[in-house]
Amino acid sequence: MKTYTFIFLYFITFFALNAQKLPKGFSYLQEIDSTIQSELRYCSHNNFVGVPVDGYEDDVLITSTLAAKALKKIQTKLLKKGYSLKVFDAYRPQSAVNHFVRWARKANDTITKKQYYPRLKKRNLFKLGYISTKSGHSRGSSVDLTIVNTKTGKELDMGSPYDFFGSISHISYTKLTEKQKKNRKMLREIMSKNGFRPYKNEWWHFTLRNEPFPKTYFDFPIE
């Protein structure tokens, strides 16, 4: 028994010593609410850049602690109705934003065009507001997310995929089915009622009102 206890304590100490020390005011979302689902696209090849993005060194979600606690509150309400949040991105290092900017300036790199921006010219992504040299995500309180039906495990139909560049992703877009409109409204209302404001060009993007770091753009890695 003493041997097993020693081994257990050894591993606890090892992971504690090797875990990333986050800046004050930040938390791992999983530690605040482990029921929130996630799919960190930028840690994989399944994103508009087509490769893992700089700064995403591990498949974990980090947010400001205030944002994480607000998401936990939302999750509690959704679970009672048979739904769950699914987060695609939260805190984003400035190095990742810089990676997006470099990608956007490579006119010949259009491998993901068919999937993510089929009707747009890549050179216009800056002007249209899809790519920027600064991102609210780097302040730690913006999240990209959707809602999942916990019985089926499927994402609700929002009319366009996550990270799709086009007017169909705008929150003002009206050429949707009634079900798609209802789903977007449900997401927008529960986020808005619990402290988040939407972004006009992306139905999935929300930022915490009264965010704790409104003028600070962080660049520590996600690990």
Residue 105 has pLDDT above 70, yes or no: yes
Which architecture characterizes domain 25-208 according to CATH?
A: 2-Layer Sandwich (3.30)
Q: What is the pLDDT of residues 79-88, one digit of tens each?
A: 999 999 999 9
Across the range 204-210, mean pLDDT stands at: 98
Closest C-alpha to 70, from 178, 174, 212, 167? 212
Confidence bin at 1 (pLDDT 50/70/90): low
Asked whether 146 and 88 are in contact (CB, 8 A), the reply is yes
pLDDT of residue 8: 43
pLDDT of residue 2: 52
Neighbour tally for 73: CB within 10 Å: 15
Q: What is the pLDDT of residues 15-59, one digit of tens each?
A: 444 456 999 999 999 999 999 999 999 999 999 999 999 999 999
pLDDT of residue 81: 98
Residues annotated as catalytic are: 202
Grouping H, G, I as helix, E, B as strand and the rest as coil, residue 27 is strand
pLDDT of residue 20: 63
Q: What is the pLDDT of residues 122-134, one digit of tens each?
A: 999 999 989 999 9
pLDDT of residue 17: 46
Write out the H or E segment, with its range, that includes residue 202: strand 202-208
Residue 103 has pLDDT above 80, yes or no: yes
Q: Where are the domains of the chain?
A: 25-208
pLDDT of residue 70: 98
pLDDT of residue 12: 45
Grouping H, G, I as helix, E, B as strand and the rest as coil, residue 56 is strand
List residues bridging with 198 in a β-sheet: 206
Q: What is the pLDDT of residues 146-192, one digit of tens each?
A: 999 999 999 999 999 999 999 999 999 999 999 999 999 999 999 99
Across the range 95-101, mean pLDDT stands at: 98
3-class DSSP string for 131-168: CCCCCHHHHCCEEEEEEEECCCCCECCCCCCCCCCCHH
Structure tokens at 200: 């006009």
